[in-house]
Structure 1
Amino acid sequence: MPNIPFDKAVLVTCGLPYANGKAHVGHLRTYIPADIYVRSLKKNSQEVTFVCGSDTHGTPIVVNAEELGITPKELVQKYHVHFDEIFKKMDVRFDAFGTTDDETNHNRTLDIVEKLIDRGYVYPKIIEIAYCPQCDRFLPDRYVSGTCPHCEEKARGDECDQGCGKHLEPGELRDPVCTICQGPAEYKEQEHFFFKLSEFRDFLLEHLENLGGTLNARNYALGWVKQELTDWCITRNLEWGVKFPGHDDLVVYVWVDAPIGYMAFTEEWAEATGGDWEKFWKGDSPIVHFIGGDIIYHHCIFWPAMLKGAGYSQPSAVVASGMLKIEDKTFSKSRGYVVWVEEDYLDHGFHPDLLRYYLASYTSHTKEVNFSWKIFQDKINTELVGVLGNFLYRNLLFAYKNFGEIPEGDMDPEVIDKIVSTTEDVIQANADYEFKKAADIAMSLASYGNSYFQSNEPWKLIKEDKEACGKVIKNCIQLAKALILLFEPMTPGSMETAWKQIGMDSDVHEETYEQATVAVISGTKLEKPKILFTKLEDDKIQEMEDISSKRVKAAMAKEAGKAEIEIEEYKDEIEYDDFAKLDIRVGKIITAEKIKKSKKLLRLEVDIGDEKPRQVVAGLAEYYKPEEMVGKTVNVLVNLKPVKLCGVESQGMLLAADAGERVSLLTTDKDMGPGSCIR
């Protein structure tokens, strides 16, 4: 596919992280290659703007917020901050990182929807919507599950996620079930609004034939467009989201306002910097989308058709990554096959550059990546430590010990030719979205450097001809300079350190590839170098594998209905008289309510056989809803000294079994009246 022209500014975007969960390695499969691409374009003197943001609307956000007892806005703000921090820690540097709930995105979404309405591309239609009689609510998207009408596999309301992968319109699911109460749903008629996607078939065929990026995106989308395109329902029954014009009871579908976020974030970048957002979205400056392979349909079919219908520019390229496996198993958070970026990687002291290099260099961008701690260890130790790190350290340490500065000497034409050809090949590989190829080519220059150093034997030459030795070392430092520039997009933090070690006082992130052949300056003082990449030891990798194994076992146990728990050490023995001091009685919960000042505490009134119920404060709000507590028979320690919790006095304590993430109240296996003693 055609590369992006070098004479125009480029806008690069990344698929938006969904703001209802933590960042995992699968997320970085998209963001790190995109960051490498942007850094490489800048190193080739191209003007680039890099934007992204949090995807904050849709039913999963609402469902998750309801389960946690917080508002959708509170939920998305928490994870928006989380992703922003993770990206910065991983050296993924956006020029703008917003949210789809920003006012800018609301306004731009309304602008586009109204344009589509005015141009006759949106129309109303009475359709059947899944409705839950038990919950008394309509069920959009992930509030409903059922059977896919196309492949008969289990599916959610908007997508056959476990079968054919086809987008599903409201009302298409067979045998609908409410995901909230798990009861059967029914279909009711309601007016919704549709986008005339079917009218854009000819446009999409031409657009996709000329679309740049990776072939997996283009070919997958062409396959769908060549079949029959159906119109697309773009409204949902939710309160959270962008209100559909003139209908406060409807919001636009999340896959309408989410990609419009790209445009809104560009506007926010322009407002902050004085830039021009219209040169991308109303002009001919290229737009490159980096996305995961699971959202090709939306970015290559829905999105360009919407832009065309509303009179905006279409994307120039869509770069779709392959999916991720964990230890050669299909990625699955619910089954424990996941590596969390923060708690499993950064919190264990691993440098961001190691993971950046692994994800970029493991395989072709469009193929499936397997994250394995053993393979990770081998790749880092063999390549970053054994080849690149070895050349940089041994060369600079020799120069420091024997010269203290960059020595005099002419540049070897063979060395310069090697730098020039390698740089050209790396630039082209990155432009072709072949990041593994770029990494391999750059690493070959480090291998060449090791061979050059070894074959010239400077440790012997220094004793025989210091001037000749100086020339060899100067050429090695020139190779080091080129390597630092070539590896900066992949390992920016380490290369920043290496840049200073060769005596450079400029910002390596701002330097261009052209500097690779600009001769290093003799006489530049050198400091004692530090090792850039340290070997990953077996015991640390074993520790990480144990963490992963434990997570998988816990998930399997949970799926099987068993609790995988850490057994606490037994407490010291006591006499019977000690136990007899505890007055434990059967109680029945009469009322339950949340305590406003706490997310964990419930205020309960418990009948323990006295004339008046006993007030008890229990830390169970994370495990039980107040309405679930009422009527339960429980065991209560009634002679515990009263204490105040969040200003509310507690006159006892409920007994419960604690298995970490699971808590279960203790009760009796027969109907025992309130006040019955526990012996």
Structure 2
Amino acid sequence: MRYLITSALPYANAPLHIGHVLEIVQTDVWVRSLKLAGNEVFYYCASDTHGTPIMLKAQELNTTPEELSKKYKKLHSDTYKSYNVDLNNFHTTHSKENKELTEHFFNSAFEKGDIYTKEIEQLFDEQKNIFLSDRFVKGECPSCGAKDQYGDACEVCGKTYDALDLKNPYSTLSKSEPVIKKSKHYFFKLNNFKEFLNETVSEISNQTPIKEKLKEWFDSGLKDWDISRDEPYFGFKIPNEDSKYLYVWLDAPIGYLSSIKNWCDNNNIDFNDFINDSKIVHFIGKDIVYFHLLFWPATLKAANFPIPNEVYVHGFLTVEGEKMSKSKGNFILADDALNYAEADFFRYYFSSKLNRDISDINFSIDDFIQKINSDLIGKYINIPSRTLNFINKFNNSQVKKGCNTLTASFRNKYDQVIVYLSEKEYSKALKEIMDIADSTNTYISNEEPWNKAKNEQIDECISVCSEALNVFKDLNILISAIIPTTADKIFSLLNINKQNYSNLCEDSLNDVNEFKPLLKRLEKDNFEGILNNNE
């Protein structure tokens, strides 16, 4: 089976933080686990480069939006690599491929009558001489009265609304009270696709909380979607218009396809055949469900493109129990985090908390340190540290053949780990893996190979150590999707090539290398400053 996997496109106006890492790790682990199962899998992403925020940021820095987005595209790409993310292509939405596809989407929908124009009233900042997008106006929620809510949705009660409905609105750009001005805009008839979406969404979303939220939106009625913006704006111009642009949320998800197309063109692969003969899966945060499970499938349908097979949603990442905020001193940039611990440690920690739930996930430094030291060092790496030296010293570094009784006893557990990974239940998979590691360490303790060696029962000592190392080899295959760099080091330590699920329970170990510590325990003192160095 061939899979085309994406994670949400990072916005190209700031470095990535560890909340982004949560999503790319969740995606990458699934990509790697599918490959271990023998599937053909490709992972695509891109920089989300359009919109008012990038335009304003570029003005502030006295540069162009193109240069700014190019800078952050490279920075984001480098961060992905630093976290061992197995991307096939990292493109940009400000590209010829995305322009061509976006115009095709627009023209297809317009010709079918799914897009129309009408004059609307908008909030306008007279001091900055700009129409205010939803992200640049705040006020009191018209539903629950919560203060300082953006112009499209309330973070407190979850209701969506029009910016004109905000009470006591103000511009976040100038803090002034906006005026109302009229302008012609283009609208996508989302409600035309209600029946299609009702049928489709149930097939591409299997998470209960998401289904319930979608039902709520369907019951309240789908509103037509404003897909245009007035100048000044950074983006693609609407065909046959001089001063109007396509809203970034129209071309941003098309960026998934443009990244795939860019890769296909560079590899002489037919783009249309490729996407039509693949399963497409998106990983996203719960804040952009509306765009990905309503607008995106509808626009794909209008343009005669394949609908994603699954949209998988995760919760937010909090730090020390609170939403990340520079003012609270708990904002951690992704690159800065690597000054305190290696990438695989973050990958392991996030995976140990990820499952099919969409509840928020908390990053706690104390819990992080305890989890890594207890699991990866105290249980996992403890297996070779207690056995490998005996093999090196007493058996010329040769693992004894036929010592796979222990690993065979865990076969059902191995299969369960594979199922959990395929179902994106990473926390359950790691619990099984660490249970096996625990059992293996108990086996070593009970058999006491050190005493067998001391009593010159060398063959029995080598048998025990070989049994344990065969299990460790299998655990390394199972965990390699989660901690790939560490797993590669362990495969080298065991003197074997990378392996996949088909190699589980194989008696494949021969001569092994001398044990050297692969992971270093984390110490609380070393984390001083991690929450206060991102001002």
TM-score (norm 1): 0.75
Q: Which residue of 2 aligns with 1:535?
A: 521
Contact 1:197 1:232 in 2 (8 A): yes
Counterparts of 1:505-654 in structure 2 under 5 Å? 506=497, 508=498, 511-522=499-510, 524=511, 526-541=512-527, 543-544=528-529, 547-548=530-531
Q: Which residue of 2 aligns with 1:370?
A: 362
Q: Which residue of 2 aligns with 1:450?
A: 441
RMSD of aligned residue pairs (Cα, Å): 2.0
Give distance in 1, aligned partners of 2:244 and 2:290: 24
SS in 1 for 2:334: coil
Q: Is residue 14 from structure 1 mapped to residue 2 from structure 2 by the alignment?
A: no
Counterparts of 1:164-563 in structure 2 under 5 Å? 164-169=157-162, 171-238=164-231, 239-279=233-273, 281=275, 283=276, 285-343=278-336, 345-348=337-340, 350-364=341-355, 366=357, 367-418=359-410, 420-462=411-453, 463-504=455-496, 506=497, 508=498, 511-522=499-510, 524=511, 526-541=512-527, 543-544=528-529, 547-548=530-531
Which amino acid in 2 is paired with 1:536?
L
Give distance in 1, aligned partners of 2:421 and 2:399: 34
Q: Which residue of 2 aligns with 1:134?
A: 127
Structure 1 window deviating more from structure 2 (460-469 vs 120-129): it is 460-469
Which amino acid in 1 is paired with 2:287?
D
Q: 1:9 to 1:213 in 2, by over 3 A?
A: farther
Q: CA deviation at 1:429?
A: 0.6
Q: Which residue of 2 aligns with 1:617?
A: none
From 30, 51, 56, give the equivalent of 2:49.
56
Give distance in 1, aligned partners of 2:104 and 2:456: 76
Which amino acid in 1 is paired with 2:235?
G
Q: Which runs of 5+ in 1 are unaligned?
A: 1-7, 555-679
Give distance in 2, aligned partners of 1:357 and 1:436: 9
Contact 1:149 1:173 in 2 (8 A): yes
Counterparts of 1:79-98 in structure 2 under 5 Å? 79-98=72-91
Identity of counterpart residues, as a percentage? Answer: 32
Give distance in 2, aligned partners of 1:279 and 1:151: 48
Q: Which has the higher contact order (CA 8 A, sep 6+)?
A: 2
Q: 1:447 to 1:279 in 2, by over 3 A?
A: farther
Q: CA deviation at 1:252?
A: 1.0
Q: CA deviation at 1:481?
A: 1.1
Q: 1:397 to 1:166 in 2, by over 3 A?
A: farther
Q: CA deviation at 1:354?
A: 0.5
Q: CA deviation at 1:538?
A: 3.1
Q: 1:280 to 1:216 in 2, by over 3 A?
A: farther
Which amino acid in 2 is paired with 1:373?
I
SS in 1 for 2:10: coil
Which amino acid in 1 is paired with 2:104?
D
Q: CA deviation at 1:151?
A: 3.2
Contact 1:35 1:93 in 2 (8 A): yes
Q: 1:213 to 1:265 in 2, by over 3 A?
A: farther
Higher Cα Rg, which structure: 1
Contact 1:42 1:48 in 2 (8 A): yes
Give distance in 2, aligned partners of 1:165 and 1:410: 60
More helix by share: 2
Contact 1:365 1:436 in 2 (8 A): no
Which amino acid in 2 is paired with 1:251?
Y
Deviations 1:366-419 (A, max 9, x none): 33211111111111111111000111322222322222322333234342131x
Q: Which runs of 5+ in 2 are unaligned?
A: none
Contact 2:132 2:171 in 1 (8 A): yes
SS in 1 for 2:6: strand
Contact 2:152 2:163 in 1 (8 A): no
Give distance in 2, aligned partners of 1:156 and 1:101: 30
Give distance in 2, aligned partners of 1:241 and 1:458: 67
